[in-house]
Amino acid sequence: VSQSRYAVRSVNELDVIEYVINEIHIGQTVATPAITGDEHARIIEDLNSIKLEGREISDLISFNLELQKSELTQSAKAAIDMALFGAIHGEVPTSRVKSDVTIPIASIDDYPTLIQNRSEFEVFKIKFGSNSLHDSIEKILIVRDLRPDAKIRIDSNQSWNVDETLEFASELESRAIEIDYLEQPTPRKDFAALRRIREETSIPLMADESCFTVSDLTTLIELEAIDYVNLKILKNGGMTEVLRLAEMAKSAEIQVSIGSMMEGEFGIHAAAYLAAMIAPNVVHDLDAAWWHTQSTITYRDGFMVTE
């Protein structure tokens, strides 16, 4: 490495942090304190502390192990690894992968418009908070009524306890409502909760916030707590680490889905590339660029295409 630097630029009101190696190879990250706990100032501090000049890095797997042991934020690790990934493996090519689209937490009255605005997608991920069981079921029924062809996923973002989750699952089963999976219903560190839910319901279960590190995934595998795992470059600390975690999950017969934060376009390109490499036939969670006001990434007929 002859030179490395970082810069901050605004993309659709996001402060995207870029880490650049040798003036060519770019890694992108953003602060997502609500998810990763990584603050903008801390990420910049971490990137500024890394001195790669003069280092010869040809084995990214070995360097990644060193990177993951460091005290850097996951977001900083992701930017460094992304830039090095391009330097060692070549720039990320274009990709065409299937993606779902999020229906955010909203009132029932807003649902018809939200569904209509997502006509180019075939899979909906519905976000629920601590709303009532009745409210959640009503929203799912609206989706089924307006888009009977669409598949449904549920993400309650750690907002339920075990009993609430089991009640929700029981209601789905009694109404014969099929969903692809239920994502992260309970708090991140409560691995035993995920295990109990999986034992007591037939609904496929996905971990997102419960899987940040190799240690997290190892625990989930040992407990046989999940059917799916959502891996993200910024959450998991880089492209190389996502590949490592994906291999672990697949070896344990856990289905891998690639997701992304609300981040810059280059980071979404990188996530799409990993999705096509790891699980080309899966519908991933890569709608972040759909929310951008301007983007070279397009969405049509359930696919996202990078240019």
What is the C-alpha separation between 26 and 6, in angstroms, rounded? 9
Q: For residues 249 and 37, what is the distance between their CA atoms, to the nearest angstrom?
A: 24
Amino acid 154 reads I
- Write the DSSP symbol of residue 90: -
C-alpha closest to that of 183 among 262, 97, 255, 109 = 255
pLDDT in tens, 163-197: 999 999 999 999 999 999 999 999 999 999 999 99
Helix, strand, or coil here: 202?
coil
Q: How far is CA 286 from CA 34, 39, 145, 229, 265, in A?
A: 19, 23, 25, 14, 11
Give the sheet arrangement for strand 303-305, strand by strand.
Answer: 283-284, 96-99, 303-305, 298-300
Output the furthest CA–CA distance in the chain (Å, rounded): 63
For the chain, which residues score pLDDT lower than 50? 6, 9-11
Q: Are strands 298-300 and 303-305 parallel, antiparallel or unpaired?
A: antiparallel
pTM score: 0.94
pLDDT at 51: 87
Residue 12: its pLDDT value, please? 52
Instruction: Give the Å distances, CA to CA, from 60 to 27, 114, 240.
Output: 14, 42, 7
- Per-residue confidence (pLDDT) for residue 5, from 0 to 100: 52
pLDDT computed for residue 255 by the predictor: 98
What's residue 91's pLDDT?
A: 84
pLDDT at 294: 85
Amino acid present at 48: N
| Strand pairing category for 298-300 and 283-284 | unpaired
